[in-house]
Amino acid sequence: KKILIVFGTRPEAIKMAPLVKEFQKDKTNFETKVCVTAQHREMLDQVLEFYDIKPDFDLDLMKPNQNLYSLTADIIVGMKPVLENFSPDYVFVHGDTSTTMSAGIAGFYSGAKVCHIEAGLRTYNKRAPFPEEINRQITGRIADYHFAPTTTSKNNLLKENTAESTILVTGNTVIDALMYSVEKVLNLENNLEIENLKTIVDSNKDLVLVTGHRRENHGQGFLNICEALKTIAETTNAQIIYPVHLNPNVQKPVYEILADVENVHLIDPLSYPAFVWLMNQSKIIITDSGGVQEEAPSLGKPVLVMRDTTERPEAVEVGTVLLVGTNAELIVNETTSLLTNNNRYKKMSSLHNPYGDGKASKRVVEFILKN
Ligand code: UDP
């Protein structure tokens, strides 16, 4: 069987890498090729290097001032020769990006079976997250097979009349990636990025790690977030380390408000292994990222999510994640409470992770073998 795995952004690469490796292991049954759209160029390449994945097709679509109209069109048109050249039986896409939706449509046009990894996440709020909710809903309509990370996501698909026989609950491949990486990161010697982080981390302080990039938070949201981080740095004993996303809508407010604040360290986005190392060193993580809220509980780190709604309610239900929106007061109060209330902290950091056991990719490959 011919398998084409398509992705374009950093989080997709992290979550698809274990699947690429798993399919590549079985050369008797599968011919596996990787196509990157390079929706995020630099951040994608770091992940490919870490996993030693060499794309067979590279659409190299990142442009200055990328917009959704041309990106969507370019991906569909760019996929045509790839699909005609390789004629895959199965096209795998992941999650909720423009790459996911556009490569899904292109795969459908080619006649391949479209397989959606991390299927069934929903907010049912068309504009939050924007444009991800619509990307994932459309991909759900296109896909022939749906690999849902949890039963909650499977139930969303069933509610939409998706045939049960086409859905498999697998756990999230992000945990496969994390388990592989934690082991590798702990054995890494003389990694320059990690050595550099060691010079920044102050072991006498509680480390608060921050990431953020969601479009829905651009503008006032990021201004509130930055004001909250400033207050936390000024009023607690915490050290804040913040790898700042490369999007100019994020860079501008963050550097304007936080560049000169004591105890706040703004750094470039980290490669995945260095980020895993830093997550492991941190006490609390504040983020609007989807992947980070899934990873952190496996490392025993409480997460504050700077969003009003989440398509990942499982962790909120279990209690490893708190939704704080972009309300500055709430971010400051919850962070301060976790930094000072040891019982609350211990309880939150010892809860189990609802997102899987690290065997999601194996389950996907077994399913395809049987079908
Ligand atoms: N990540 C990384 N370097 C960083 C920040 C995050 O490698 O500086 C990883 C993180 O471990 C997670 C993924 O990138 O697996 C999350 O990506 P992002 O927040 O961009 O997207 P989302 O998860 O919200 O789709």
CATH code, domain with 63: 3.40.50.2000
284-319 residue pLDDT tens:
999 999 999 999 999 999 999 999 889 999 999 999
User: Both ends of the chain: CA-CA distance in Å?
Assistant: 11
**From the CB of 269, is ligand 1 less than 6 Å away?**
yes
Q: Are residues 165 and 199 in the same domain?
A: no
**From the CB of 15, is ligand 1 less than 6 Å away?**
no
**From the CB of 353, is ligand 1 less than 6 Å away?**
no
Per-residue pLDDT, averaged over 257-273, amounts to 95
Q: Are residues 270 and 300 in the same domain?
A: yes
Q: Are residues 58 and 165 in the same domain?
A: yes
Give the lowest-confidence range in 3-17, 57-71, 272-286: 57-71
Contact 139, 101 (CB under 8 A): yes
pLDDT of residue 64: 80
Q: Which of 94, 213, 218, 312 is catalytic?
A: 213
pLDDT of residue 227: 97
Cα 28 to ligand 1 centroid, rounded to whole Å: 33
pLDDT of residue 147: 98
* Residue among 100, 98, 149, 102 nearest 121 (CA): 149
Is the pLDDT at 187 greater than 90? The verdict is no
Does the annotation count 176 as an active-site position? no
91-138 residue pLDDT tens:
999 999 999 999 999 999 999 999 999 999 999 999 888 899 999 999
**From the CB of 40, is ligand 1 less than 6 Å away?**
no
Ligand 1 atom 12 nearest Cα: 291
Does the annotation count 245 as an active-site position? yes
Q: Are residues 277 and 186 in the same domain?
A: yes
Ligand 1 atom 17 nearest Cα: 11
Task: Please give the sequence-ordered ranges of beta strands (E in DSSP) within the chain, or none if there are none.
Answer: 2-7, 31-36, 57-58, 90-94, 113-117, 145-148, 167-169, 206-211, 238-243, 264-267, 284-287, 303-305, 321-323
Does the annotation count 52 as an active-site position? no
Does the annotation count 213 as an active-site position? yes
Which of 176, 184, 292, 307 should be mutated for ligand 1, with most atoms under 8 A from CB?
292
Number of domains observed in the structure of the chain: 2
Q: Are residues 91 and 222 in the same domain?
A: no
Contact 94, 72 (CB under 8 A): no
Q: Give every CB contact of residue 343 below 8 A, 6+ residues apart in sequence.
A: none
Does the annotation count 164 as an active-site position? no
Q: Which of 12, 22, 74, 118 is catalytic?
A: 118
Q: Are residues 340 and 263 in the same domain?
A: yes
**From the CB of 210, is ligand 1 less than 6 Å away?**
no
Q: Are residues 187 and 320 in the same domain?
A: yes
Q: Are residues 192 and 337 in the same domain?
A: yes
Q: Are residues 101 and 189 in the same domain?
A: no
Cα 219 to ligand 1 centroid, rounded to whole Å: 21
Name the average pLDDT for the chain: 95
Ligand 1 atom 19 nearest Cα: 289
Q: Are residues 308 and 363 in the same domain?
A: no
| DSSP one-letter code for 44 | H
Does the annotation count 116 as an active-site position? no
Q: How many CB atoms neighbour CB 260 within 10 A? A: 9
Q: Which of 12, 132, 206, 216 is catalytic?
A: 132
Q: Are residues 227 and 270 in the same domain?
A: yes
Q: How far is Cα of residue 159 from the mean position of the Cα atoms in its chain?
A: 25
For residue 242, the enclosing domain spans 180-349
Calculate what percentage of the chain has a pLDDT beyond 90: 90
Q: Are residues 84 and 154 in the same domain?
A: yes
Cα 156 to ligand 1 centroid, rounded to whole Å: 25
pLDDT of residue 41: 87
What residue type is assigned to position 21 of the chain? K
> Which atom of ligand 1 sits closest to the CA of residue 289?
24
Per-residue pLDDT, averaged over 217-230, amounts to 96
**From the CB of 289, is ligand 1 less than 6 Å away?**
yes
**From the CB of 140, is ligand 1 less than 6 Å away?**
no
User: What is the torsion angle, in degrees rounded to the nearest 10, for the CA atoms of residue 49, residue 195, residue 339 and residue 234?
Assistant: -110
**From the CB of 129, is ligand 1 less than 6 Å away?**
no
Cα 333 to ligand 1 centroid, rounded to whole Å: 25
pLDDT of residue 329: 97
